[in-house]
Chains A and B, each alone.
Chain A
Amino acid sequence: MLLQTRIILFVLATLAVVAGLLIGFSSLREEAANQQARELELNGLDTAWQLAVAGAAGRIDQSLGRLAGDPEILRALVAEERGTLTARVTALGLLSGRAGQGGADKGGETVSDVNLFAANGTLLYSSDPALDAAPLLNRALLDPVLAGQRLARGVRLLDGNRLIVMAGAPIYGAVSGDGVVVGAVVAGLGFPAALDVLRKNTGGRVFAVGRDGSPLDGASDPLWSAVRQRINPADREMQLLRFDGHRYALASLPVADLAGGRVATVLIATDITLAMEEHALWSVAYGVAVLLVLVLALGLLYGYLRQNFTVLDGAVQALQDISHGRAMGYVELPSGNDEIGRISGAVDVFRGVMREIERTAGQRERRLRRQQRFIRRQMEALAVTLEDEARQSLLEELRQIESETHDADSSQSRGVGDELGLLALGFSRLATRVSTQQVQLTQMVRDLRDALADKRRLISLQQELEIARTMQLTILPQVFPELAELDTAARMIPAKEVGGDFYDFFPISEDKIAVVIADVSGKGIPAAFFMLIARTMLRAIAESGVGPAETMRRVNNLLAAENEQMMFVTVFYGELDLRTGVLAFSNGGHNPPLRVTRDGAVIELERCQGIALAVMPDMPFAEKSLRLDAGDMVVLFTDGVTEAFNGSDTMYGDARLVEAVGRQVTASAREGLDGVLSDVARFTAGAPQSDDITCLVLRWRGAAGA
């Protein structure tokens, strides 16, 4: 709940309590005043009643005067002549017509009862015709009168049911003249007479009831029906009565007997409708006035509070803005020495502090950005010099640093708040990276050194291999002897790795030359070694002139003897007799050479039994021979030729070779060799060579002697 509302509610509550208390007090006071007014009213009415009684008594006094002043009565009284008195009183005509006595009114006042007493108190005359008529006054009341004092006037109850107003006076003896009381006269007038006077005096409607509440007078008044219900005969009080649309004040006045005791109650109903209405009107007017004043006061208070709280609200709004981080929104706040002014002052101070903080935060942000840019530049510059992987991880690290800068929860960002925090973070990352790089670099240098050593070893191995290959190539005859009978050409195209093909061409006697083509299984140094051994053995044994089959048999046994590696070599070995052109040959598992005759026919040399050398000792080798015709060409080759593959995995094959060879009918040995090899090269079209390609071509020109 807002303070404003609370204050207004509190003020409302306070006002309500105060107003309630005031209204309560004022109503109490009004009640007291009303009570007093009622008392006064009652007193007034009482007085009016007394006056009425006195008025009635005055009327009686005239009669009393006439009676007391009548000399005849005086004389008869002294003489105690009862008859004279009766006659005289009747004659005076003072008695009103009562009980049929028909006393005429002679212009004076009349009374209803008369008593005449002798000086000794004896009742000498009574207007009551009864024989033992009771005196109007008893002795105790009569004595003061006889003592020369005037009788207090009053109301008297006669015979227990008749009320009269009465007065009495002493009768002085005229003779002596010295004021000796010779008797007393007491007269009474009907009670209604007093009531009439009262009616006349007060203007109200008058009722009378007996001591038991029985109606005495006014019963004919229409108001009586309402009045009779409110009768408390013993109480002196003032009541309010509502009848027939009118309001009446009903005063109840008990009437005391002269001798004491209550004898009747007089009720006076005064029409106060107008007064009451007026009073009600005044009450309403008063209430409205009070309400207006209250409302006005509250309105003024509310307005005042609103006015002040508007200012406070402004201050509160400004504080809220500040608490939400909007210190820049400017609200003009009043200055002053009161609380609001002080709050405004405090808000201004807060706002200033907040602006300062924001400014500082902005500076820090800008500083961070500068540092970020700096780090980014440095790291990017560093990244450029690094290899791709390291650059990626460095840039990743950069992103991480940047994201951590913005992530308020990360541990690093707390440190970043420092003056050079971000720089420190960046440099620590860089330092870590540099040291990591250093370690990696050291490791890499070590690896590189090892690799270099390995490479050196490899190079030396390669050099050795190269030497082996060169050796392999150089031991193969490059230049063939110029022979009249025979034109020879041969070439080995080694595969990348050192292989095991070889060919040979050497004289074994004056008239015979040996020709060899061979293929060692496998590759590399072992194959090269094996090839060297095989070649050397073959040469050595062939030169001993044991013939092709025996040569093969011996070489095979020698090679097979110690062949843990299960290497083997296919060998075609032939001996050509230059005198006859007869070629004797043996074949150890090698591709049969091709013979091209002068008419262009290509024929495979006859196959002859024989397995690759070194596989198994003591294998049989057959020997065949043929006589070459002049112009015949023999092409020896290894499976590197027929099994050369092109890019689409197709083998060169025997058919192509036969065809290629067939085209060399008229060519020289060199041309034939080149023709065949270039055909193979065309076929493989640069596809990697997996095996040595070796070819040897003989062209038999014919026996020299022929």
Chain B
Amino acid sequence: MNITEESVGGVSVLRTEGRIDSGNASEFEGHLVRAIGDGSVKLVVDMAKLTYISSAGLRALLIAAKKARPTGGRIALSAMAPHIREVFDLSGFSSLFEIHSDEAAAVAAFGAA
């Protein structure tokens, strides 16, 4: 797993790469929690280069979403590969997150909001 962080037009973008499994999910969670911080944050988790995400990874996203909710923060996911989209669909997580076709669309969606 490799995660880079960048700010694009006032939106934090977390680019994930490789595999997120139970071994490194806590690290992923750490990144997410840091990105959200205390304040109202718009966070895009880009999954263009993500090859795999386990249920532990989903849980990390869930924790981040729950943490963001009280302060009005929002988390969007972008550029999922089909098999990852499948995971989200199967687990029903698709209904919990905003999912965009690519990073720009996600950022733009935040900008429009």
**Interface, chain A (partner B; CB < 8 A):** 497, 519-523, 566-568, 570, 588-592, 607, 609-612, 615-616, 619, 639, 643, 649, 651, 653, 690-691
Contact = CB atoms under 8 A, between A and B. Distances in A.
Interface of B: 19, 21-23, 25, 51-52, 54-56, 58-59, 62-63, 66, 83, 87, 90-93, 95-96
Given A590-B90, A691-B22, A568 B62 contact: yes
Contacts of B62: 566, 568, 615
13 contacts: A497-B22, A521-B58, A522-B22, A522-B59, A566-B59, A567-B59, A568-B55, A589-B93, A611-B93, A612-B58, A615-B93, A639-B87, A653-B83
A390 B38 CA distance: 51
A567 B92 CA distance: 14
Nearest to B86: A654
B91 A589 contact: yes
B17 to A, nearest CB: 13
A611 B91 contact: yes
B56 A589 contact: no
A567 B95 CA distance: 17
Nearest to B94: A611
A393 B25 CA distance: 44
Interface of B is mostly: helix
A616 B59 contact: no
A236 to B, nearest CB: 143
Contacts of A643: 52, 54
B93 A521 contact: no
A691 B51 CA distance: 16
Which among A497, A590, A615, A653 has the greatest number of chain B C-beta atoms within 10 A? Answer: A615
A602 B33 CA distance: 42
A523 B92 contact: no
Contacts of B83: 651, 653
A399 to B, nearest CB: 47
Contacts of B54: 639, 643, 690-691
Can you list the 4 inter-chain pairs with the closest CB atoms, starting with the nearest? A611-B92, A589-B91, A521-B55, A521-B59
Contact of A611 (B19, B66, B96): B96
Nearest to B23: A690
Given A521-B58, A615-B96, A570 B52 contact: no
B95 A522 contact: no
Contacts of B63: 566
Given A522-B22, A568-B62, A690-B23, A610 B55 contact: no
B90 A522 contact: no
Contact of B91 (A520, A566, A570, A691): A570
A521 B92 contact: no
Given A590-B90, A607-B90, 11 more contacts: A497-B22, A521-B59, A568-B55, A591-B90, A592-B90, A611-B92, A615-B92, A616-B96, A639-B54, A639-B87, A691-B54
Nearest to B89: A607
B28 to A, nearest CB: 13
Contact of B66 (A522, A566, A591): A566
Contacts of B90: 570, 589-592, 607
Contacts of B23: 690
A570 B91 CA distance: 7
A612 B56 contact: no
B92 A639 contact: no
A567 B60 CA distance: 10
B79 to A, nearest CB: 19
Contacts of A521: 55-56, 58-59
A592 B92 CA distance: 12
B53 to A, nearest CB: 10
B92 A588 contact: yes
A690 B21 contact: yes
